[in-house]
Amino acid sequence: MRKNRGFINFLFRISGILAALLFTALVLVIAKANPWEAFGNILMGAVSTPIKIADSFVAWVPLILATCGLVITFTTGLWNIGIEGQISLGAIMTTWALRLLQDSGLPPVVIILAGILAGMAGGIIWALLAGVLKFYGGVSEIFAGLGLNFIATALTLWLIFGPWKRAGVASMSGTEPFDMSIWLPTIPGYRLSVWSLALAVASVLIVYFLLQHTVIGLRLKAVGKNYKAAIQMGISPSKYMLLAFVLCGLFAGLTGAVQVLGVYHRLIPSISSGYGFLGLLVAMLVDYQIVWAVPVALLFAALNIGGIQLPIMMKIDSTLSGVMQSALVLFFMLMDGVRKKMLKKEEDLSDE
Amino acid sequence: MNEFLTNMAGVVAAATPVVVAVIGETFSERSGVINLSANGLIVLAAMVGFAAAYTTGMVWVGLLAGFVTGAAAGLLISFSSISLKQSQVAVGFILSLLFRDLAYFLGTPFMVLPGPTVNRFAIPLLKDIPILGPLFFDQNVLVYFSYVLIAMSYYWIFHTRQGLILRGVGEQPISAYSRGIDVNRQRYLYTALGSGLIGLAGPMYSLSIKAGWNGTMTGLDGIGWIVLSITIFGGWNPLRGSFGAYLFVFLQWLGLALQSYWTSVPSQVLQVAPFPLMILTLLFVNIGDTEWVTRMMARLPRGVRGGFYKLFRFLRKPPPASLGVPFERE
């Protein structure tokens, strides 16, 4: 019986994925495109050459870093929609530190480290703003976060077109690129940096350890699972929620730092590239389990990379990847709801 | 003076979709269902509405398509939250992203095409009233519709039996149920109606204020989030919510107007000025409820305290008690 239930759960998950694929195929048919061709192009665009596979990992790094932070805030029951802004602030602070230190003659390692630390600080500041607004101002973290996202975008644009203007004319292409000596070194011939990959893996391990094997992790979970019981146990929910904000901001800031140091090597207008929101989707899809986030984030990253070729190959918009990603999470949740409803009915029947 | 009047008439027109969407969200949330997908929904409905009007050549088909898109989204949200008991915030957020990407993906064939728009229609007699005439009655039909909607929705929610039921369903569903009201049916209905109105805001942009469909350059991304916060600012009251919508668009206009006088401030800063303001308003509305303010107030002398209580009570309008909570009969 028990085994049977596991199988049923598995079937529901598969049917969620199938429904999402079917939905995407329908959307493609509406757009007068051949679904098979589109799926094939996405697959080939993500895995056909070693460079493309490496690119999927380049996209995986910021996505899993953002998810690392979000798993912590979700654990305490917080909706940190402000993560996009936290990533941007991280990128801004990293750029600031690099600009300050690039001509100082310090060894590149020191400058890079300073950049990473500054980025983390930036993410933490922006996350704390949302946290303080929630706990000392009564403003829902969803709306505080959204507002702060827009402000962070404006701040980025202002810096690029104002004080950090590129010599000559300011443009949407961003600030002056940094000298190669302070880039995160990449594998020759690829855009992928072993260092960012290592940072991402380390972050996953840290978050796993923090949530599964420490008292702090236990208390964070207690706050999320049962707010009132946590108070009874002498845990201050607001203190631990603020801590969750700080930790999430740290990983968000790191995301921004990695994008500046390892991918763009400058500040660009859309530096967060939507990885924060995509991280929210990943975290929801894996039910806030960081271990599962690793493969799912890789799948989502591959979808992003695979979609890039669509406008050239088939003259359809690359937002198809976004449609697929959100459809996956949506149908997964819907099927999960159906499963729970059926299980409940079954239990009600066996009760009678 | 004349130029200022023209500008203010522009503000009234530009605020119209926001007003309609805020009232839609108010209906949905009053019944206990939060539609967090508003941001993506407005973008999608704008695209669908434009496409429908462009294909048929008829404006009303586009408006209807926008409403239907919204209502369908509302049914999906009610189904997932009421029937399947999934988190409204989660589903709403996912849909917000899905709708936006769908709009950009499916809207490609309709990019930068000249499409039909809603005609201006000055109301005879009323348009000749000094100041008010050019401000409110030399507009298009959609703007007049919004006036009617404001008045009717206010009357409906606060002065009819149906409105009483609606509020009961959002506040105390169990009491409503014990009086023989089908709580979930009410929620389905009002979420569909409310989301339909949010959807209607889409073609109100693409067929009037920001005519046409320009993909990501249409500039509708972000409006839905504003709508959600104005709904809170409005205390789930159509009158206060509409005031919030007009105020918001006025401040946006002010930001743009100041830019020409105040050239040292970069345009990006003034364009986002509404967002810090949005946070500040939510702060003012909610801060009276926080623990530390309550503690501080307890220390104040009685007379001063009373004043503060009054101020906070005026600012603060609590949300429907069962907002986001699924209804269980047992």
Rounded average pLDDT over A119-140: 92
Q: What residues 179-238 of chain B have any CB closer than 8 A to a CB of chain A? A: 215, 222, 225, 228-229, 232
Question: Which chain B residue has its CA at the smallest distance from A274's CA?
Answer: B97
CATH hierarchy code of domain B2-315: 1.10.3470
Q: Which amino acid is at B150?
A: I
Question: Which chain A residue has its CA at the smallest distance from B102's CA?
Answer: A323
String of DSSP letters for B263-296: TTS-HHHHHTTHHHHHHHHHHHHHGGGSHHHHHH
What are the chain A neighbours of B224 within 8 Å (beta carbons)?
Answer: none
Instruction: Check residue A210 and give its pLDDT.
Output: 94
Q: Mean pLDDT over all residues of chain B?
A: 87
What are the chain A neighbours of B213 within 8 Å (beta carbons)?
Answer: none
If pLDDT is split at 50, 70 and 90, which confidence band does A273 have? confident
Considering only residues A340 and A260, tell me which one the structure prediction assigns the higher pLDDT. A260
Instruction: Check residue A298 and give its pLDDT.
Output: 94
Range name among A35-39, A229-233, A257-261, B177-181 with the lowest pLDDT average: A229-233
Q: In whole angstroms, what is the distance from residue B193 CA to residue A155 CA?
A: 38
Domain segments of chain B: what residues?
2-315
Instruction: Check residue B268 and give its pLDDT.
Output: 66
What's A293's DSSP letter? H
What's B121's DSSP letter? E
To test the contact with chain B by mutation, choose from A330, A331, A351 the residue with the greatest count of B C-beta atoms within 10 A, namely A330
CA distance A319 to chain B (A): 6
Longest dimension (CA), chain A: 79
For CATH 1.10.3470, the residue range(s) in chain A are 57-308
Q: Does A280 touch chain B (CB under 8 A)?
A: yes
Contact A341 B83 (CB under 8 A): yes
pLDDT tens string B214-266: 877 777 888 898 899 889 888 899 999 999 999 888 888 887 787 777 766 66
Nearest to B44 by CA among B249, B213, B229: B213
Q: Does A142 touch chain B (CB under 8 A)?
A: yes
Instruction: Check residue B67 and give its pLDDT.
Output: 97
pLDDT tens string A144-164: 898 899 889 889 988 888 888
Q: Quick one: B67 exposed, middle or buried, by C-beta within 10 A (0-12, 13-18, 19+)?
A: buried
Share of chain B above pLDDT 90, in %: 44
Contact B106 A31 (CB under 8 A): yes
What are the chain B neighbours of A16 within 8 Å (beta carbons)?
Answer: none
Q: Does A281 touch chain B (CB under 8 A)?
A: yes
Nearest to B279 by CA among B226, B325, B241: B226
What are the chain B neighbours of A81 within 8 Å (beta carbons)?
Answer: 93
What are the chain A neighbours of B287 within 8 Å (beta carbons)?
Answer: 136-138
Q: What residues 162-201 of chain A have any CB closer than 8 A to a CB of chain B? A: 162
Helix (H, G, I), strand (E, B) or coil at B139: strand
Q: Mean pLDDT over all residues of chain A?
A: 89
Burial A295-334 (b: 16+ CB within 10 A, else e): ebbbbbbbbbbbbbbbeeebebbbbbbbbbbbbbbbbbbb
CATH hierarchy code of domain A57-308: 1.10.3470
Question: How many cross-chain Cβ pairs, A to B, lie less than 8 Å apart?
Answer: 131
Contact A326 B292 (CB under 8 A): no
Instruction: Check residue B178 and give its pLDDT.
Output: 86
Q: Does A68 touch chain B (CB under 8 A)?
A: no
Q: Does B271 touch chain A (CB under 8 A)?
A: yes
Rounded average pLDDT over A233-253: 91
Q: How many residues make up chain A in this entry?
A: 352
